[in-house]
Amino acid sequence: MRVLMLSKACIVGVYQRKLEEIARLGVDLTVVVPPAWRDERGETPLERSYTSGYRLVVNPIRFNGHFHVHYYPGLGRWFDPAPDIVHIDEEPYNVATWQALWLARRAGARSLFFSWQNLPRRYPLPFALGEAWTLRRVDYAIAGTASAAEVWRQKGYRGPLAVIPQFGVDPALFHPLEKPFTGRTRALGFVGRLVPEKGVDVLLQALARLLSNGIANWRLDIVGGGPERPALERLAATLGLRERVTFTGPLPSAEMPAFYRQLDVLALPSLTRPNWKEQFGRVLVEAMACGVVPVGSDSGAIPEVIDDAGLIVPEGDVPALAEALRHLIDHDALRRELARKGRERVLARFTQEQVAAQTVAVYREMLA
């Protein structure tokens, strides 16, 4: 079977392992990516890390960084020869999806879209009309979580739908490192966009609370970029955390496993907003694969991802987050047990091999 995938997410090197696994299952796969993508963190260039067994091709992108209106000039050239399936790794309400779906229908190919959208948002024209057109014309949908699948059923999509994460992790790349659980400073981490909804200010306030209570055997490393960084640096200084908190900035995906392995705890204190709630929290899965214990808020999909392999606190609750962190800092046996559960949970549900196999099963169903 010949599959053409359009995916700006696949500029990230470690995500490309899924593509190798799809190709290994007998799929003649071509993946179209932009040369880079821009967001709040800045520009992320294409990383060519795992490119065996399939074709990774670069197509210019117009309106880079504008999620709803970006598209790919000249995309039609990748439809010769015509694919059997066009996998549109985009939400159904943006121009790139409409472009790829129109080309797929013209080529006589089956089509699917992928969505993380877990809120029933309403869009102005022309996006509402384009979304409705996509839901009527596409042959299949994949949602990253059950809550995202429910949104598209509420919005009127009646076709076949599977719940599959967009990406898993490679457990050979993301693996634990044996480290002592006693007699040392606890390494805490945050990975993600530095924007208000990620709740890093809540994390800093929780850590200041710990410090005021005499709990000082910890340090925090913040990895990521975004517009809130200057304000968060000022907050850390105001709270007396300047010597304990490091702002590392974004790291290349190939360096992330080594970063996770030196952590004890990863915090993801996301805050639900009217137009957003945590869609998956991929950093949780990466950290759990590396034997790192997650602490997350109850925003969106975080409790579904962590399950019993970490601690969940009410979003925005500084005392509760401080208490959860204190509990993990003080209890070596608990951290060890949760680290074991996290690794086992990833191996059971969130590997690239499993995600690829489920995706290829969808392809085969579409052609059957």
The 10 Å CB-count burial string (b at 16+, else e) for 79-89 is: beeebbbbbbb
Chain segment 286-314, per-residue pLDDT in tens? 999 999 999 999 999 999 999 999 999 99
Q: What is the pLDDT of residues 188-239, one digit of tens each?
A: 999 999 999 999 999 999 999 999 999 999 999 999 999 999 999 999 999 9
Tell me, yes or no, whether 126 and 101 share the same domain.
yes
Q: Identify whether residues 329 and 356 lie together within a single domain.
A: no
Residue environment code for 129-161, b if the CB has 16+ CB neighbours within 10 A, otherwise e: ebbbbbbeebbbbbbbbebbbebbeebebeeeb
Residue 286 lies inside a defined structural domain of this protein: yes
Task: Name the average pLDDT for the chain.
Answer: 95
3-state secondary structure of 101: helix
- Parent domain of 195: 186-349
Q: Are residues 37 and 161 in the same domain?
A: yes
Task: Please tell me the number of Cα atoms within 13 Å of 33 on its side-chain side.
Answer: 23
Note whether 128 and 78 are same-domain residues.
yes
Residues 280, 159 share a domain: no
Assess if residue 337 is contained within a domain. yes
Classify residue 143: in a domain, yes or no.
yes
Q: Could you tell me if residue 181 is inside a domain? A: no
Alpha carbons 333 and 324: distance in angstroms, whole number: 15
In a domain, 297, yes or no: yes
- CATH number assigned to the domain comprising residue 127: 3.40.50.2000
Side chain identity, residue 56 = L
Do 240 and 255 belong together in one domain? yes
Domain count, the chain: 2
Domain check: are 129 and 257 in the same one?
no
Give the predicted TM-score (pTM) of the model: 0.88
179 within a domain of the structure (yes/no):
no
Q: Is residue 174 part of a domain?
A: no
Average pLDDT of each block of 10 consecutive residues along the chain (368 residues)? 97 96 98 94 91 98 94 97 97 97 98 94 93 97 94 96 95 85 82 96 98 95 96 97 95 94 96 91 95 97 95 98 96 94 96 97 97
| Residue keyed to tokens 């995202």 | 148
